[in-house]
Structure 1
Amino acid sequence: MNSGLRRYLMIGGILIVGYLVIQYFKPKPTNWAPTYLSEDKIPFGTYILRQRINDILPNTTIKTVQSAVYNNLKEKPNGQSNYFIIASNLKVDKLDYLEMVKYMQSGNNIFIAAFQIQGVLLDKLKLQITSDFNFQNKRKYPINFVNPSLKRELDYYFDKGISGQYFSKVDSTRAIVLGKKQDEFANFIQYKFGKGSLFILPNPQLLTNYSLLREDGLDYAAKALSYLPKAETLIWDEHFTRPNTKDSSVLRVLFKYDELRWAYYIALFSLVAFIVFEIKRRQRIIPVVERLKNTSVEFVEVVGRVYYQQRNNRDIAEKKVNYLLEYIRTKYRLKTSDLDQEFKASLINISSVSADIIDELFEEITYLKAGQMVKDQQLIRLNKLIEQFYKQDQ
């Protein structure tokens, strides 16, 4: 190996190592995904809220649950409690709603902070949520409380569009407006159910790390959560935010990381492309296969033509009579060696065939056994009587 090539290889190796070191130590980009998980320290996690919740609700025990709302409220702890849900998307079905109403009527309270609410909850409360969100997130919307003791002289302003949600439709006969956006649209409301209440905040990002790191955000969150009365327990529901930990898919590790997921997609696409091109290049011409003929039908037609051409009526009649007698022996366990009156009486009693048909049929059989010549009309009559016997004996 000459010195020039060795120099180029050394420079190339150094550059590759340097690139790998830079990629390893470069700062990770900020994750702006709204997870609302209590252990996440990213901007839209709820780590700070979980750590400081007892500053707002002192002497309250935090109980984390991950089951459906119906199950959690059915198994609620003893004593007064508050139920807290923060999520991007909340879906409440009829059973959940009925259990929520019973829970609140008994003196407990529910606080919901969700960006999107689905199910029966909006219909029951006659609510409609609208957003002024824009992709640049540059506009700051002023929000404030309605209660004079909580309302700040200077409105709260938040960037990133985290206060852009509001209620465009509110049932004024039931809802109590606790906060407004731009001093016009309700963005924090309360519904009373018996001894308890339901609080709904359509801007859950106001309770995340990004907001609570600011003095304004911390003050707003504290005032909003202060509407929850003192209770022994705060039930923190993670059912709508916690990923399914019971995923047993063999591909769960691949889909957990973006790099592995894309590697899987590329490999799958390459395999499909390879199969398509290989089939196109190597596939042989598919021969035309003629449909199989029904040889049974042809056989019957041939046998029928032979009997018709030979005109052997006696042979046909004897075969039909033998088949009939075999049928009687098999079904009724009668001896057919003597076709006397006793035999006919027994057959009439145990079968469902009329006596007239049996008498006429056995007259023809007796005539046949006498060795007389069988004409076409006699064969046709014998065949009709046998068919009537089978039909009535069903």
Structure 2
Amino acid sequence: MAMKSSGKLGVILLVLTFLTIALVDLTRDRQIDWTRTYDQRDKIPYGLFFTRTELSKILGNEAKVRDFTAMNYPDLKGFLRGKERGSLVYIVDGMYDGKEAVAELVAYVERGGEVFISANSLSIALLDTLGLDQEYYYPRDFNDAIDIKDRPFTLTDGTKAFYKDLDYPGLFYEIDSVGISKIGYFQAEGREVPNFVEVRRKKGRFLLHLEPLMFTNYYMLKEPNYNYAATALKLLKRPDVFWYDARAKSNDAVQTPLRVLLQNEGLKQAWYILLFGLLLFLLFRSKREQMAIPVIEPEKNMSKEFAKTIATLYYESGNPGNLVQKKIEYFLYDIRINFLLDTLTLDEPGFAKHLSTKSGVPLADCEYIIALVIKYRKVTATTDDELIEINKQIEEFKNKANIL
């Protein structure tokens, strides 16, 4: 009788668990995912589902749009064979192809192909080959408020749009070389700063754009921004269009009979909960009746409370400069430990380059964070806003450099 009662109790607990999970899932506040995935499957604000779906409509019925995946140089070389009538479209966070892949793309363009790239960062090999230089726009005074309403992004045909998340957009400079022309720019400090260029090479051309965020779902659903992105994409003139899909191979790896469950986040969670519940049920069924063992609670970990108390004391003291100093010193400690760099040479010109090489973070980001550290390292009086900005920049750098 005791075993039967135990079995019934296990079933009741399992049912109650499922009901509780279902209730919590239905009533929870679902947060918007603002991750910048630049993936055609994602319907989140910064995915590319809408753009990929609308691309055929934007380019017209004559264009044939297909996906392609070339994760390395041999794949790219094999794919490009005989496709000189086509256009390759890359809308990615960063394009970091090496010299061999870049040489293959250049050869493809010179044979008559067309390559459209919109990325936050272009590979050094591609920039050097095409004779371009890329940078990011920062106001002359770091503390200046940036009013994006005064900085429209414009194409040479007059199409204009505004983007609220582009505080520090990418730009090209020194583009006076033969075969390079400006086809898009933004207004800053009374100047037209180029961020979209055409580079002609023999029979074909590169279209290089420095802000993929403009093509994401969030902006494409707004008419002025849609017009801007659609006009930029309509510059593609080849009949065959190949959209670069970076995640195709990783998604194809899920080929188990349970792939429908595993590819859906909600179903996957339900499947794991079911397995856990069954194991729990079997544990209840197989367990022998025995005397209850008293539970001895371990001592509570008060680390969080301690950190919160210390933070409160710093906040109430009204001296964020002290926090800035400690934040910078801990950051320099991380650089010394993780990358074995001597931070006493922080002011030397080559330090940022060494840091970029060892961390894998773009040189522009390294130069910016080092300049920020040098500026505030010995400043004793700062504002809360400066503290927040310094903390944000340091955390972003650590994430890019995979410093845990």
1:269-348 matched pairs, under 5 angstroms: none
1:244 to 2:253 alignment: no
Distance in 1 (CA, whole Å) between partners of 2:19 and 2:37 is 35
Is residue 128 of structure 1 aligned with residue 131 of structure 2? no
Return 5+ residue gaps in structure 2 as ranges. Answer: 1-15, 255-261, 273-404
Give the Cα separation in 2 of the matches to 1:66 and 1:27. 37
Q: Rg bigger for which structure?
A: 1
Asked if structure 1 preserves the Cα contact closer than 8 Å seen for 2:185 and 2:193, the reply is yes
Check the 8 A contact 2:45/2:218 in 1, yes or no: yes
Given that residues 190 and 198 in structure 1 are in contact (C-alpha distance below 8 angstroms), is that contact kept between their aligned partners in structure 2? yes
Aligned residue for 2:45, secondary structure, equals coil
Residue 79 and residue 126 in structure 1: after superposition, are their counterparts in 2 closer, same or farther (change >3 A)?
Answer: closer
User: Separation in 2 of the partners of 1:41 and 1:115?
Assistant: 20
Which residue of structure 2 aligns with residue 38 of structure 1? 40
Q: How does 1:208-247 map to 2 (within 5 A)?
A: 208-229=216-237, 231-239=238-246, 244-245=250-251
Counterpart contact for 1:83–1:234, Cα < 8 Å: yes
Q: How has the CA–CA distance of structure 1 residues 82 and 54 changed in structure 2, closer, same or farther, with 3 Å as cutoff? A: same
| Correspondences of 1:352-371 after superposition (within 5 Å) | none
Counting aligned pairs with the same residue, the percent is: 20
Q: CA RMSD in A?
A: 3.8
Q: CA deviation at 1:166?
A: 2.6
* Residue in 2 that maps onto 1:62: 65
Q: Is the aligned partner of 1:151 residue 2:154?
A: no
Match of 1:29 among 28, 31, 34: 31
In the other structure, the counterpart of 2:289 is none
Residue matched to 1:199: 207
Q: Which amino acid aligns with 1:207?
A: F
* Per-residue deviation, residues 114-160 of structure 1 (Å, max 9, x unmatched): 112234112223312214499xx98426234353xx214xx421112
Among 55, 75, 78, the alignment partner of 1:74 is 78
Tell me: CA distance 1:199–1:79, structure 2 relative to 1, closer, same or farther (3 Å).
closer
TM-score (norm 1): 0.52
Cα distance in structure 2, aligned partners of 1:237 and 1:42: 19
**Which amino acid in the other structure matches residue 86 of structure 1?**
I
SS at match of 1:198: strand
Tell me if the contact between 2:132 and 2:172 (Cα under 8 Å) persists in the aligned partners: no
1:20 and 1:132 map into 2 onto residues whose CA distance is 48
Residue of structure 1 in register with 2:107 after alignment = 102
Measured after TM superposition, the shift of residue 176 of structure 1 is 0.8
Q: Aligned pair in 2 of structure 1 residues 109, 140: CA closer, same or farther (>3 Å)?
A: same
Shift of 1:69: 6.1
- What is residue 340 of structure 2 aligned with on the other side? none
C-alpha change, 1:64 and 1:20, in structure 2 (3 Å) is closer
Q: Does 1:185 align with 2:189?
A: no
Displacement of 1:84 in angstroms is 0.4
Distance 1:96 1:41 in 2: 30
The TM-score, its normalising length taken from structure 2, stands at 0.51
